[in-house]
Chain A
Amino acid sequence: MEVTENKIREWLIIKISELTGIDKDKVGIDKSFSEYDLDSVSSIGLSGDLESFLSMKLNPMVLFEHHTINKLTKYLFEKYSLR
């Protein structure tokens, strides 16, 4: 699989939509994760799913450190490119 920024962003939007029940089109890419219904167990769990998706190790707190879909996507893509 070729990983691009768009693919990461799309993946995150789908995941957030699944976890919160919010319609995919209504997931805001610049909205802070803390504004969604995400508790810390789900946020840390999502970092684990991201590890599997990108086949790389991530800090469990990555969603707290890069707290919007756009910021997280940018961070992940840079980290992925340097791996």
Chain B
Amino acid sequence: MKTNLVDMLLSQVDKTPDKILYNILVDGEDNVETLTYSELKIKASNLANKLQQDYTKGSRAIVLFDTSSDFIVSLWACLFAELIAVPVNPPLDFKQLQRLLSIIKDSEPSLILSNSEIISKMAFFQSYLTNLPVFDKIAVDAIEYDQDSNYYSDTINENTNAIIQYTSGSVGLSKGVLLNHQNLTDNLYMLKDILDEIPPKNVEESFMCWLPLYHDMGLMSGVFLAVGSGTFSTLMSPLMFLQKPYRWLKALSKYKSTVSAAPNFAYELCVKRITDEQIKTLDLSHWSIALNGAESVRSETINKFIDKFSECGFDKGALFPAYGLAESVVFVTANSRYSLPVIINVNKEELEENRVVEEAKSPNTITLVGVGHTRLDGEVIIVNPNTNIQLKNQQVGEIYISSKSIASKYWNKEKESQETFNIKVDGQENKGYLKSGDLGFIKNGQLFITGRIKDLIILRGRNYYPQHIEYTSENAHTAFRVGSVAAFSVDIDNEERLIIIQEVKNEGNKSEIESMINLIKTQVLETHGVTVYDICLINAGTLHKTSSGKVQRKYCSKKYLSKELNIWK
């Protein structure tokens, strides 16, 4: 077992130099670029040789590409030269440009590795680039590779810093998780153990990934896992997937991929957009791990996906809910290959009192999908976040994690780091845990997630999950936009009050404003037994969401208090 990624790659290059490592589907279809193990080694070590001449070890390098061989070569070159790689997506709009700028300010890079096209586009935004640290821009596509010059740092060890992974929070609030080689290899071998425990039937293990490679889940499942397993990865840009979701399943079918990960919305998109004609061209029988993670796993989506794609040979045991977070590289819990997801119905009111009572599905229950059991060599425990005392099975509390995958800190953020990492639990003072910020419980060894702790609404000592109230609100009227609603509480006159912000479709009828507000009020009262203090109907598309589309309730509450909402009137 290797404890750094560079040794892991180089030992595999010696074993299978001419084997293809990455198939990159440039147009999402037939235009394929390939990189073999030895081609990657030559190009990356060549670029590393250039980098080590100008930059000292530990300097940050922003790696700014869409999915491409240049991204992969640049990333490995940083690892070879012991620069800390900071993967970021090339901005497609002003919001993403702001995100890039805030990452530049925070990480203080010495250089940006990108391609000529992106660098010339950045010149266009030059006026925004003032007041930034000074850094070089290197167009990797213009570099001529020279077979004879190569470089690998000989001081890389498990404690060497490798990557800063920025979380997907809003601009300015996104934190950089500093990951070293031990964190990354530990998480990688945890996944590899799951894969090796029950190997795929009659086919070589291989990976397919359209997730953005600047994101932890894409980086691990698309770039590093193939190297750790000595096999290959098929890659395409997220834009190619979003343009035609069929391309994902078609590539899985063509390359007989066994493992592919995506958030819940991607499975939903396949159900919605793939036609009956297209289904006839798919063979999904090789796909044995359809990992569903990074956002809430929904049982309705799982059922719809099985209904639609079982005729393509899709095995329902392949559905693989998982849980993780960037602070632990990416993965924390998962099940075994070919095991069915665990789905339970629990009483809503009991859950609000932090108790788990399973019962037959009814309007009083909510359905939860288990996200697996811990596979790290560490542990996952449930803790009362107010007392720091560990809770028993089937009690709801905050998820605390301890393992070698856990990062040591956030880059440049001492206060947030102290509040998150190495947290002591009552009675176990010799150990430190990561405070995940997620609420959940463990039942029969299976972890269930119930929500985010900072989003929990506490009114008169009682807990309310915002997503339950939001569900009631968005379904109260047909003109309301689903998924574009925020419920949160604010302190008004020394009491916590429930506020709901709901987006209305453009074609909504403005003469109905009053009745719309009343519908939310009465239905929330009837369903949850709580009075809404204030309801704001706002214009479509104006609710604040993260770059991955999650509603930012905290940010919404700030905008509510400062009266900066786009009221629909």
Contacts and interface: CB of A to CB of B under 8 A. Distances in A.
B242 A22 contact: no
A22 B541 CA distance: 15
A64 interface: yes
B250 interface: no
A4 interface: no
B540 to A, nearest CB: 5
A37 B243 contact: no
Contacts of B245: 45
B505 interface: yes
A13 to B, nearest CB: 15
B567 interface: no
B568 to A, nearest CB: 12
A36 B541 CA distance: 9
B243 A21 contact: no
A64 B540 CA distance: 18
Contacts of A22: 506-507
Contacts of A41: 242, 265, 269, 549
Nearest to B506: A37
Interface string A33-77: 011110111001101100110000110110010000000000000
Contacts of B137: none
Contacts of B242: 40-41, 44-45, 48, 60
Interface in B228-243: 239-240, 242-243
A58 B242 CA distance: 13
Q: Is the interface of A mostly helix, strand, loop or mixed?
A: helix
Given A20-B507, A21-B507, A57-B27, A47 B93 contact: no
Contact of B244 (A40, A51, A64): A51
Given A44-B242, A52-B244, 16 more contacts: A20-B505, A21-B505, A22-B506, A34-B541, A36-B506, A41-B242, A41-B269, A45-B243, A45-B269, A48-B244, A51-B244, A57-B27, A58-B243, A61-B92, A61-B239, A64-B93
- Nearest 4 A/B pairs, CB to CB: A48-B243, A60-B239, A48-B244, A44-B242
A26 B243 CA distance: 26
B77 to A, nearest CB: 28
Contacts of A26: 507
Q: Is the interface of B mostly helix, strand, loop or mixed?
A: loop
**Size class of the B contact interface (CB-based, 8 Å):** 10 to 19
A40 B507 CA distance: 19
Please indicate which of the listed interface residues B93, B239, B265, B269 has the most CB atoms of chain A within 10 Å of its own CB.
Answer: B239
B239 A44 contact: yes
Nearest to A46: B243
A37 B273 contact: no
Interface of A: 20-23, 26, 34-37, 39-41, 44-45, 47-48, 51-52, 57-58, 60-61, 64
Interface of B: 27, 92-93, 239-240, 242-245, 265, 269, 273, 481, 505-507, 540-541, 549
A51 B244 CA distance: 9
Contacts of A51: 243-244
Nearest to B31: A57
Contacts of A47: 243
A39 B481 CA distance: 12
A22 B505 CA distance: 9
B482 to A, nearest CB: 11
25 contacts: A20-B505, A21-B505, A21-B507, A22-B507, A35-B506, A36-B506, A37-B481, A37-B506, A39-B541, A41-B242, A41-B269, A41-B549, A44-B243, A45-B242, A45-B243, A45-B273, A47-B243, A48-B243, A52-B244, A57-B27, A60-B239, A60-B242, A61-B92, A61-B239, A64-B92
Nearest to A61: B92
A40 to B, nearest CB: 8
B503 to A, nearest CB: 9
B269 A37 contact: no
